[in-house]
Structure 1
Amino acid sequence: MTATHSTRMLILGSGPAGLSAAIYGARAGLAPIVVQGIQPGGQLMTTTDVENYPGFREVIQGPWLMQEMQAQAEHVGAQMLWDTIVEVDVSQRPFRMVGDSGTVYVGDTLVIATGAQARWLGLDSEELLKGKGVSACATCDGFFFRGKKVAVIGGGNTAVEEALYLTNHSHDVTLIHRRDSLRAEKILQQRLFANDKITTLWNKKVERFIDGGGVAGLVGIELKDMVTGELSTLEVDGGFVAIGHHPATELFRGHIALDQDNYITVDKGTTRTSVPGVFACGDVMDKHYRQAITAAGTGCMAALDAERFLAEADFEQVAEAAE
């Protein structure tokens, strides 16, 4: 027989946003169920040194932080289940999700915390050097390259913003773009070209990230000129891939309002989506900050929003029954 799990608060995703929602939901007595998805713990499970999460004087490890968050959520009453959701129905309450095993999950409210994944170049050398000089988040890792030479790959808003941010730490930032013009907003381009710490390389494609061997990590980037085909090497200590993100919203397309980049839209200052009773938190609705601490903050907001929604719905139900 197909198993069915029912709860007052159903949470999809188990990164900082989902687990924070679970902690607040459990403390409110909503007995949340967290469906962990294909990457339990979210992006922090692939992050080594975390130095900007409040409350820890020393550098901590991303996987350890997520293990502690999960343990805290379970300690206060949240239930963790592993499954890959293949079907959702948010057309009516209670909301319904189905896992690939056939298991059914039913929730009076639904918190979506499925996150977003950085787009990568897809190079073997990139995969080899992730966390060893190659990153997809300047705000997260730029601090580790103080006074060093760094490069940013991309030509959109994200790439230009990353390059500008890195000038807080590096005096030598190179923006590498495979075309001869940027796609970023004009105001960002103006700031970029006015900054004497930034050099732009046009019509250059990354062929490979160069491994220094041993503990050296990234030492350079091999580039191919898109016009001449000529190969060259740029010596750098850090390489930041900034070609955008994929929000994990495929399941909800056509069911919940998304913006032009497929992020879930929410009412300003809240986590409320276009469907009453469905809330979104973390990177799946935040294309600007994308930090563990902001994801955790919106997870808290989602739980509080869901709790208030249920309280109002319960009150209305009691009032109707009394008439």
Structure 2
Amino acid sequence: MYKSVIIGTGPAGLTAAIYLARANLKPLIIEGPEPGGQLTTTTDVENFPGFPEGILGPQLMDNMRKQAERFGAEFRTGWVNKADLSRRPFTLSVEGLGEIQAETVIVSTGASAKYLGIPGERENVGRGVSTCATCDGFFFRNKKIIVVGGGDSAMEEANFLTRFASEVVLVHRRNELRASKIMQDRARANEKITWALNRTPLEVVAGESGVTGLKVKDNETGREEIIETDGVFVAIGHTPNTGFLEGQLTADEQGYLLVNPGTTETNIPGVFACGDVQDNRYRQAISAAGTGCMAALDCERFLEATELEAVVR
């Protein structure tokens, strides 16, 4: 029996772990097969406060983990494949660990960026392939960039990247865009954005120094070509990692968990959500860490209240 179990070890989960461990609550943190979350796939992180020269993503996550361990947080590796949140204590079924019971649960499982699933894509993440313009745009100053996607996210990313890039080519597999009219109009009014519509991405082309191009097929003619580029930003959406919850927590139409405004409280008392799993707007390491702090404080106050209630009874 644990007072609190944190599921996920990105910036949100690790920040929650630091706070709960310092409160002497001895939290258990369950980390999946990719500890550290999406930051472990990045290289230089230059927008996390406190590191004027930047820091490597994996190093930042390792530092946060060590900080939590210093105060007594317990880490165990496993995959939560089922959660029974119908009553307290909650029961988590963890592959490799069996069943674990917890008085409170913090869900910080993040959201996974959707990928195209083409050759050369995954192996070049951090070498020119990215899913976060805000995170990596700065590294492409005065370079030519491709953004793949046709929704609002793609338009937003393309517009943002024109702050740095010399040219942004927007590639989409259809002639029509899914983005709202206002977002399309903003992108079309941007002189730095050029268009390669009705083209299907086939392969990310790379050399020793990283990405050099994107091979695409013209869907009208069937002709294949390589669009030269220094970077490929995939902007086709994210998927919240909530499948194991089986719909027990209230979510929006995209699957992001809903919390009470100004808190990290879900629809089930004693269950809290923080980080990208409940944030479909910002998705930044620092904002995730902030909600991790909130979740820990919400969790601590919930435990204090329930313990006081038990004493009164």
Query: What TM-score bracket applies, with the shorter chain setting the length?
Result: over 0.9
TM-score with structure 1 setting the length: 0.94
Aligned counterpart in structure 2 of residue 290 of structure 1, from 283, 287, 296: 283
Q: Give the counterpart of 2:17 among 13, 22, 25.
A: 22
2:243 to 245, 250, 262: 250
Q: Does 1:137 align with 2:127?
A: no
Q: For residue 274 of structure 2, what is the aligned residue in structure 1?
A: 281
- In the alignment, does 2:303 pair up with 1:314? no
Q: Does residue 1:177 correspond to 2:172, yes or no?
A: yes
Q: Match for residue 74 of structure 1? A: 69
**Equivalent residue letter for 2:303:** L
Distance in structure 2 (CA, Å) of the matches to 1:219 and 1:31: 48
1:186 aligns with 2:188: no
> Could you tell me which residue of structure 2 aligns to residue 197 of structure 1?
192
Give the letter aligned to residue 227 of structure 2: L
Deviations 1:126-163 (A, max 9, x none): 12322111111111110000111111000112111110
Aligned match for 1:236, one of 222, 229, 233: 229
Find the aligned partners of 2:263 and 2:195 in 1 and give their Cα distance.
Answer: 39
**Pairing partner for 1:34 from 22, 29, 32:** 29
Corresponding pairs, count: 313
Unaligned runs of 5+ in 1: 1-5
Give the deviation of 1:232 after TM superposition: 2.0
Q: Report the CA distance between 1:178 and its aligned residue.
A: 0.5
Name the residue aligned to 2:255: 262
Structure 2 SS opposite 1:124: coil
Q: Which amino acid is 2:95 matched to?
A: D
Counterpart of 2:208 in structure 1 is: 214
1:3 corresponds to which residue? none
Farther off after superposition, 310-319 or 248-257: 310-319
Letter paired with 1:314 = E
1:310 deviates by 1.3
How does the TM-score come out when normalised to structure 2? 0.97
> Where in structure 1 do 4 or more consecutive aligned residues deviate above 2 Å?
none
The percentage of counterpart residues that share the same residue type is 51
Distance in 2, Cα, partners of 1:127 & 1:227:
28
* Partners of 1:102 and 1:303 in 2: CA distance: 24
Partner of 1:276, secondary structure, is coil
Is the CA contact (8 Å cut-off) linking 2:41 and 2:125 kept in structure 1? no
Q: Partners of 1:167 and 1:66 in 2: how far apart?
A: 30
Q: RMSD between aligned alpha carbons?
A: 1.2
Q: Which amino acid aligns with 1:141?
A: D
- C-alpha displacement of 1:102: 5.2
* Residue deviations 1:257-312 (CA, integer Å, cap 9, x gap): 11111111111121111111100011111111111111111110100111111122
Superposed CA deviations along residues 34-62 of structure 1, whole A, max 9, x for unmatched, are 01122211111221221111111213211
Q: How far has the Cα of 1:253 moved from its partner?
A: 2.6
Match for residue 149 of structure 2?
154
Between stretches 53-62 and 139-148, larger displacement belongs to 53-62
